[in-house]
Amino acid sequence: MEGIVNKVAESGIMTLDLAPYVAGNEVVSFDLKPFLYMEMILREKDYRAALQTHDWEQYTGKDVAVFCSVDAIVPVWAYMLAASLLQPVCRSVYYGSAEELSKMLLVNRINAIPLEEYADKRVVIKGCGDTPIPDAAYLAVTAHLRPVAKSLMYGEPCSTVPIYKKK
């Protein structure tokens, strides 16, 4: 009697789990709203004074999303001034929401995946798990690996949805 054969293991399929790429640096927000007069007007003198007394150390080593949460006219230099004070302490500064910044950082981590180990391989992008994976990650990994992979699939090695196959 022969032993059980793991056909998935013998198939040469590589599974790529995106969950480790989701966990990343701490993303925090810097909202200009509290620095506005009546939450709608930016007064340069008041703005500069408030920035000078702000605790910038709280952003040390973090990725910071800079935005204004109210519908106010904010001159571009106001964002530039905030960035000039954030840059020495934070890891990165981004204009937009924390959610947008998180997605961008995730896509950057995916685009840094070394292509050599996936060259001419059959790759399954893991589709289930405990960590929620943004759709942007699946799009990014497909675009990143397609030029080198023999085939791309979505799901689990025992049950996949074909995405791409090199001809």
Provide the residue-wise pLDDT of the chain in tens; the chain has 167 residues. Answer: 566 544 544 557 999 999 999 877 789 999 999 999 988 899 999 999 999 999 999 999 999 999 999 999 899 999 999 999 999 999 999 999 999 999 999 999 999 999 999 999 999 999 888 888 999 999 999 999 999 999 999 998 888 899 999 98
Contact 12, 122 (CB under 8 A): yes
Per-residue CA distances from 153 to 91, 93, 119, 131, 149 (Å): 35, 35, 15, 19, 10
The pLDDT, as a whole number, for residue 129 is: 82
The pTM of the full predicted model, rounded to 2 decimals, is: 0.81
Query: Which token pair is 124?
Result: 């399954």
At which residue do the structure tokens 């793991």 appear?
Answer: 6
Alpha-carbon Rg for the chain in angstroms: 23
Instruction: Give the domain ranges of the chain.
Output: 7-24+112-165, 27-90
The pLDDT, as a whole number, for residue 5 is: 47
The pLDDT, as a whole number, for residue 4 is: 58
The pLDDT, as a whole number, for residue 8 is: 47
The pLDDT, as a whole number, for residue 23 is: 76
How far is C-alpha 62 from the chain's CA centre?
A: 13
The pLDDT, as a whole number, for residue 117 is: 93
132 class by beta-carbon count within 10 Å (0-12 exposed, 13-18 middle, 19+ buried): exposed
